[in-house]
A and B are shown apart, each in its own frame.
Chain A
Amino acid sequence: MTSLKQLSEREERLTGGHRLCAGCGASIIVRQILLATDYPVAVSCATGCLEVSTTLYPYTAWKTPFIHNAFENSAVTISGAEAMFRAQKRIGNIPEDAKVKFIAFGGDGGTYDIGIQSLSGAMERGHDMLYVCYNNEAYMNTGIQRSSATPRGAATTTSPAGTVIPGKKEYPKDLTEVMAGHHLPYVAQASPGYYNDLIKKVEKAMEIEGPKFLNTISPCPRGWRHPANAAIKVGKLAVDCCFWPLYEVIDDDYELTGQSKKIADGKRDKIPVADYLKTQGRFKHLFAPKNEELLENIQKEVDKRWERLIKLSQL
């Protein structure tokens, strides 16, 4: 793996001066991913925080070719560019050994929800591309509305913690598993809190030809209601409580990685989910006595998914 020192010497391909919020997980994720590779890259991005904040005309924060098409089509848009790249190689307009890595970014809205069809299609067609979801677990760009990635109990503007309903009623969709069901050469889950694990995964993905999917949890100070300096810490806690396990699926073979592997091996403690939830204002109401049972149920669901993942990793 590239050392931290080496990473610090690489050129930033997402420059500073963009308008993302202080402490936003998305820009940290994108910078880490782009630093993790030396290959030239072409990027697409779904409509969302990342796109609006990095490309406010006449400025752009991208030192790579970049395309934003619409909300639901980041995956297919870059797949079209990748198809053109292959076609231009075939007819000799681009040298056969030329390398461009195609990366699509999308938030959980553009990935789990409105963009899932485009993502599924692009992955099934086998384009040589990496799709990265920066999952901040709600529609943050439009003002913190719930998505299918929003955790149960989280308060959002369309699933507020009311006097009758305590936040979002449903557990989040497990999109990483949905993508694993596409039997891709590479599927992984990562957190910017564990940057070394994230970098390793990107390095690995870049050497694998074909469709790759990387789901990263993306702490959002505004939507999650935590301090702007806490994104990395919160990103770690999500992993430490096994709400967001670090793992990869290479050709259908599950492997826990980094901190999650250490937890599974008994080398690190699995902390209670409550320790993660209490760092964020969106879960504040869960700690009222009347929501005790809900809190227990959330712990049970996390345990259930975690146990299942351990079993899959032992196959």
Chain B
Amino acid sequence: MGKTLALAGNFAAAYASKQINPQVVAAYPITPQTTMMEKFSEYVANGEVDTELVCVESEHSAMSACVGAAAAGGRVITSTAANGLALMFEVVYIASSLRLPITMCVMNRALSGPINIHGDHSDAMGVRDSGWIQIFNENPQEVYDTMFQACKIGEHKDVRLPVMVNLDGFITSHKIERVDTLDDKQVTDYIGPFETMYSLIDTDNPVTYGPLDLFDYYFEHKRQQVEAMKHALPVAKSVMRDYSKQFDRDYDIMEDYYLDDADYAIVTMSSTAGTTKFVVDKLRAEGKKVGLLKLRLFRPFPAEEVREKLAGLKQIAVLDRSDSFGAFGGPLFTEVRNALYELDERPGVVDYVFGLGGRDINAEQITSVYERLMSATERLAGDVNYLGVRGE
């Protein structure tokens, strides 16, 4: 095992990136992502990595450079947040359609406008249909470990897709926590050498990337992308489980907390799961049958697994850290509720949109959600609520 370090989420991501030692990193600074790239630039300046660091002039160019680099064959890492992710939107779709395993950290931050630099999930949710694998992380330790899992999942021959490693802007990106690291050799052995396919710099075997693909073939190619995404689910499961076994951790595509005998549950992602666990502990001490389902893998969405975990519950509240204007509830709510449709006896499911623009969510608010679930006399009927906002 490596050292135990005190690392902020961004430094955990940077440290893991150093150990991965990717061939190319291309990125553009944006709050709250900057400290990861600053730290990585130090590694480059001090010769601690072999990486070619490409300091581009925009996020659009960051993802474009990643596409060129990944097509040439090799490990590629970038990171961004909010408006930066929005600016690279076009190329985010291209990266996945070209089946390029790139790892991108997203320090989840509210999208403009109005401009706001703090954490919510609107950026990542804006690209949830882009064909990227999306993993949401609760704390710096998870961020660190997930970086290696991301290589394994994205580079798997049945997958070959880019992976987004999400962490809550400022809340996780800047909070310092204990991180048990692996030593460099463990990382190198675990991720193995990168397997290049169809290299753009193999001039003896020329390939054409990104041809014009019209109504006669485009649909088949998109269908193949669907298949790659389907493969990503079992691959993600086995990678996370193997990783846990190998390094004495406890990872899976989702984490259930006191869910087995629970009647009432919250479903959420990222740092809020930590606060929710605190509340669950408190309520369990009072004998309340409450639990938590924390999703790590959001894309591909593990509908069947979610259904299995939540079957038999009485009432469920989904906590969504982003909204989907004009939709019936936030993105996590619509996925979870959809997944439960096949159940003969469906739990009540309500949505709570919370924490937009980094608005704090506290134990009292989460307790109030559980209290509502527990006090309901009838099956709750899918209402959408706003938690922690004035005027509600």
Contacts and interface: CB of A to CB of B under 8 A. Distances in A.
A28 interface: no
Interface string A144-173: 000000000000000000000000000000
B25 to A, nearest CB: 9
Nearest to A62: B208
Given A80-B24, A81-B68, A65 B207 contact: yes
A196 interface: no
Given A62-B206, A65-B206, A65-B207, A56 B68 contact: no
Contact of A69 (B23, B50, B64, B204): B64
Contacts of B61: 73, 76, 117-118, 121-122
B50 A77 contact: no
Nearest to A84: B72
Contact of A83 (B26, B73, B214, B217): B26
A66 interface: yes
Contacts of A86: 52
B374 interface: no
A118 to B, nearest CB: 5
Given A65-B201, A65-B203, A60 B211 contact: yes
Contacts of B68: 44, 67, 69, 76-84
Interface stretch (A87-95, A130-138, A186-194, A260-268): A87-95
A282 interface: no
B210 interface: yes
Interface string B147-185: 000000000000000000000000000000000000000
A91 B91 contact: no
Interface residues of A, number: 47
Given A65-B200, A66-B206, A87 B23 contact: yes
Nearest to B25: A83
Interface in A101-152: 117-118, 120-122, 124-125
A79 B26 CA distance: 10
A42 interface: yes
B133 to A, nearest CB: 21
B324 interface: no
A87 B206 contact: no
Nearest to B194: A93
Interface string B103-115: 0000000000000
Contacts of B51: 87
Interface string A2-19: 000000000000000000
A69 B211 contact: no
Interface centre among B51, B55, B70, B72 (most CB of A within 10 A): B72
A81 B208 contact: no
Nearest to A66: B208
Contact of B201 (A42, A73, A117): A42
Contact of B65 (A55, A65, A72, A77): A77
Contacts of B209: 66-69
Interface in B64-83: 64-74, 76
Interface centre among B58, B94, B200 (most CB of A within 10 A): B200
Nearest to B198: A65
A8 to B, nearest CB: 22
A114 B188 CA distance: 41
Contacts of A124: 57
A40 B64 CA distance: 23
B201 A91 contact: no
Interface in A30-87: 40-42, 44, 51-52, 55-60, 62-70, 72-73, 76-87
A121 B213 CA distance: 29
B54 interface: yes
Interface size class of B (residues with CB under 8 A): 35 or more
B200 A67 contact: yes
B66 A80 contact: yes
Interface centre among A62, A81, A86, A125 (most CB of B within 10 A): A81
B90 interface: yes
B94 A69 contact: yes
B212 interface: yes
Contact of A42 (B58, B200, B212): B200
B56 A121 contact: yes
A100 interface: yes
B212 A51 contact: yes
B60 interface: yes
Nearest to A68: B210
A58 to B, nearest CB: 7
Contacts of A67: 67-68, 71, 200, 208-210
B203 A64 contact: yes
A47 to B, nearest CB: 9
26 contacts: A42-B201, A55-B212, A57-B217, A59-B211, A63-B206, A65-B206, A66-B206, A66-B207, A66-B209, A67-B67, A68-B210, A76-B65, A77-B68, A79-B68, A80-B67, A84-B24, A84-B69, A84-B201, A85-B201, A87-B74, A91-B23, A94-B201, A121-B57, A121-B61, A124-B57, A125-B55
Closest 4 CB pairs of A and B: A80-B68, A121-B57, A40-B203, A80-B65
Given A69-B94, A80-B76, A124-B57, 16 more contacts: A42-B201, A57-B211, A65-B199, A66-B206, A67-B68, A67-B210, A68-B210, A77-B67, A79-B68, A84-B68, A84-B70, A88-B23, A88-B72, A88-B74, A88-B201, A125-B54
Interface of A: 40-42, 44, 51-52, 55-60, 62-70, 72-73, 76-88, 90-91, 94, 100, 117-118, 120-122, 124-125
